Amino acid sequence: MFVLFGPFLWLAEIHRSTLQPFPHFFLALSLQHIQPPKLTMLLPRALPRRTGLVRFPGIRQITLRRTMIPAPGPNTGPLMERRADRELPTINNSKGWLKTLPIFVVAVGAAMLGIFNYQKSSSSVVSSTLYALRTSPQAREILGDEIYFAQQIPWISGEMNQLHGRIDISFWVKGTKGQGKMRFKSIRPDRMSFFRTEVWSLETEDGTVVQLLDSDTDPFRQE
């Protein structure tokens, strides 16, 4: 290598010391001895495709191309390695979730109704009315003893809004003699007043409505 480039290095030293124009044909002559494969082997593999390289006349340019590994298929098996040059799998754009959307809406609606009904059945209003039924002579005469909900999972119909002072509920009860549908309605005229019971009745299975409300058996009576 020194034998090849020695004269040119000596001329470059003379040019630097004498400030004479350096003949360009010596540079072109020296570049002809550079082998293209040796030049390209010095390039890193991660170099982009369009990286600017110095172009010399008479030297063939080699374009670096990146190969892609196909995406795994259904029967490919587990991936044992992660590669940066692996293609992304195709995305399934099917709208199959639209078929299950009605089922999801119905399930969420049923869950919400169940939660609200459980909140009503475990409220103090329902507990007070059940206690008043057990202590009412008229209710015990119709229903008998051991008065409780008619169903194992009771359904409380109507509105129960204690915050705004509106209660109007009804549900089925049973005893040792029979069962009936109890209705309870109470309102609060303003925020600073107490609840006032308007309706407290028991409807039997034959359609007879018995009024249970009096001054002594009001579940919301205030002392």
Cα 71 from chain centroid?
A: 28
With 0-12 / 13-18 / 19 or more C-beta atoms within 10 angstroms meaning exposed / middle / buried, residue 119 is: exposed
Beta bridge partners of 166: 161, 187
Predicted local distance difference test score (pLDDT) of residue 91: 77
Read off the pLDDT of residues 63-96 as tens digits, 9 standing for 90 and up.
Answer: 666 677 776 777 776 767 777 777 777 777 777 7
d(CA 148, CA 154): 10
The pLDDT of residue 212 is above 80: yes
Sequence-distant (6+) residues with CB within 8 A of 121 are 149, 154, 156, 171
Q: Are 210 and 201 in contact (CB under 8 A)?
A: yes
d(CA 44, CA 49): 11
Read off the pLDDT of residues 152-196 as tens digits, 9 standing for 90 and up.
Answer: 999 999 999 988 899 999 999 999 999 999 999 999 988 888 888
Structure token digits, residue 14: 């003379």
Whole-prediction pTM value? 0.55
Mean per-residue pLDDT over the chain, rounded: 76
Q: Are 171 and 182 in contact (CB under 8 A)?
A: yes
| Nearest CA among 182, 175, 128, 169 for reference residue 148 | 175
